[in-house]
Amino acid sequence: MNWRGRGGIKGPSPVRPPRGRRSGVVAALLAASATFSLFLIAGLAWGWSVYYAPGPSARQGDETVVTLPSGSGVSAIAARLKSAGVIRSSDMFKAAATLTGADRRLRAGEYLVPDKASLRAVLRLLTDGKVVRHYVTIPEGWSSAQAVDILMKQAVLTGAVDQVPDEGTLWPETYEVSRGETRMSVIARMKSAHDDNLARLWAARSPNTVVDTPEEAVILASVVEKETGLAAERPRVAAVFSNRLRIGMRLESDPTIVYGITKGRPLGRGIRQSELRTDTGYNTYLIDGLPPTPIANPGREALAAVLNPPRSEDLFFVADGTGGHAFAATYDQHLQNVARWREIERRKAGLPPGVTPPAAPGTLGPGQAPEAAPPGQTPAGQAPAPTGNAVITMQSQ
């Protein structure tokens, strides 16, 4: 036994590799690390260059339209971009999206990808959500047939319209639509908006309104809407029609004559004498009360005016030469307003005093109606006739 001091028995000394062998292992490790670093640097440099390098050229024009559906994952998005030709590699897109954290911020929608956009630019476009927005506007007072015409002209929409919606069931508004959305789905949104808004307006109606149902409100509002293009005049026009309905006077509205002829499309000319005497079921110079259906799709202001008409004694109105109308409570006042309007027309036509601008053969243009009759009478052999593009003069019954 070999005693080595108080520390007790010592074991055998560890075996150490020769100094030359240790140096070789360290050198190998250093070489491998250097090689890996070089490959890593080269890979990063290559990836960096791909990330910033110009992308593919657009197949047509200077931009490429790409639509990313809602709920698409990174792989589906990458495949769609690759198919559209805006990226070269779906794997590189997914890797770049993951490394930059963009994969958690990609947004659905339609995008216009510029020609030769880099991978970085594409990712930024998709994460910023700079989508292309499309809008469809249905103006107040347009018919359902005209609304369908508008939708059919929108190239981003798809599908046919099986049937023109019932008049007065669409809400005039500007709607955002998506590429590929069907026209019938847009119509469904318009109908839903109409129902929701009408319900709210009906709930806030005044006791002074003359309509008994929401459907009657839409009919009367559609006539008001077609009578004036000035929003400030809608309440006053609504008051005139409300007053007439209360005392049993006919509405005598030109747009109802036109609707009975065209069912919602522009007439494109003046109203003929024969059409003034034709009972289409809509001609309010010949029928009592409201037309059987709306004659357009009224907007919020027209409906609100009908449901909350201001107090007024007005029963007549005529164009005043400024784009608006002159209102009157009595027939004599109305005749004075008519005379002023005809003088304005005479001056516009450059005719001498006392000469009325002639009407085109067989038609009634602005200011060409027969002379107004006193209450309870009409010119012999003639129906009471309006003057103007909508109701410009209304004759008393």
The pLDDT tens digits for 301-341 are 999 999 999 999 999 999 988 889 999 999 999 999 999 99
pLDDT at 392: 32
Q: Is 63 helix (H, G, I), strand (E, B) or coil?
A: strand
Flag whether the pTM goes above 0.85.
no
DSSP 64: E
Read off the tokens for 222.
């559609």
**Which element (helix H / strand E) includes 392?**
none
> Which residue carries 């009367």 as its tokens?
220
Report the C-alpha dihedral over residues 358, 360, 366, 369, rounded to 10 degrees: 70
DSSP 158: B
Spatial CB neighbours of 267, under 8 Å, sequence gap ≥ 6: 258, 261
The letter for the amino acid at 66 is V
The letter for the amino acid at 226 is K
More confident residue, 23 or 190: 190
Query: Which tens digits make up the pLDDT trace of 82-111?
Result: 999 988 988 989 998 898 898 899 998 899
Q: Is 319 helix (H, G, I), strand (E, B) or coil?
A: strand
Report the C-alpha dihedral over residues 83, 87, 92, 94, rounded to 10 degrees: -60
Residue 247 has pLDDT above 50, yes or no: yes
DSSP 263: S
Opening angle at CA 304, ends 303 and 309, nearest 5: 110
More confident residue, 353 or 320: 320
The letter for the amino acid at 330 is T
Query: Which tens digits make up the pLDDT trace of 379-392?
Result: 323 333 333 333 33
Spatial CB neighbours of 236, under 8 Å, sequence gap ≥ 6: 310, 312, 314, 317, 327
DSSP 383: -
- β-partners of residue 19 are none
Nearest Cα neighbor of 297 from 134, 152, 187 is 187
More confident residue, 287 or 40: 287
CB 252, CB 394: distance < 8 Å: yes
pLDDT at 387: 34
